[in-house]
Amino acid sequence: MKLLIINGPNLNMLGIREKHLYGAQDYAALCDYLRAQGERLGVEVELFQSNHEGAIVDRIQEAYQKIDGIVINPAAYTHTSVAILDALKAVSIPACEVHLTDVNAREDFRRISYIRLACDKTFAGYGFDGYRMAMEYLVETYKK
């Protein structure tokens, strides 16, 4: 099984950006964590981070017929991107949405998620652990 884990804009700034919200661990630490979870679960993990909406759309399209599950933290594009929603719908690969913070407990605009419409599940507010939960969910569903 192959999982693609996509992180959107500014997640490369983890450890620097708003530490009181996103924590002190950097993006490299997140990548290490995700690779370790992949090994533990016995699945291949591909990591992708971009600050560009079109690049994220391109990466989702490339996953067509190659990837078995997508974990996506679309970051700010969560709340704006019909293009990423449509890309996920186009490839119809099982997907989960992840947010480090509890987006429902922040500004009103963060409650809106376009991406959620193409996702089986959302894990928000669990920090790095949310990615693990999403990976476990996709692996369990794939096995069924």
Task: State yes or no: residue 116 binds ligand DQA (CB under 6 A).
Answer: no
Least CB distance from residue 16 to ligand DQA, whole Å?
13
Task: State yes or no: residue 12 binds ligand DQA (CB under 6 A).
Answer: no
Least CB distance from residue 34 to ligand DQA, whole Å?
14
Known active-site residue 99: yes
Among 75, 93, 138, 139, binds ligand DQA (CB under 6 A): 75
For 91-104, b where at least 16 C-beta lie within 10 A, e where not — what string? bebbbbbbbbbebe
d(CA 67, CA 92): 10
Known active-site residue 126: no
Nearer to ligand DQA, 127 or 137 (CB): 127
**Distance set, CA 71 to CA 16, 18, 108 (Å):** 23, 23, 24
Nearest in space to 76 (alpha carbons), one of 118, 115, 120: 115
Annotated catalytic residue within 22, 27, 33, 126: 22
Side chain identity at residue 15, one-letter code:
G
Catalytic residues: 22, 99
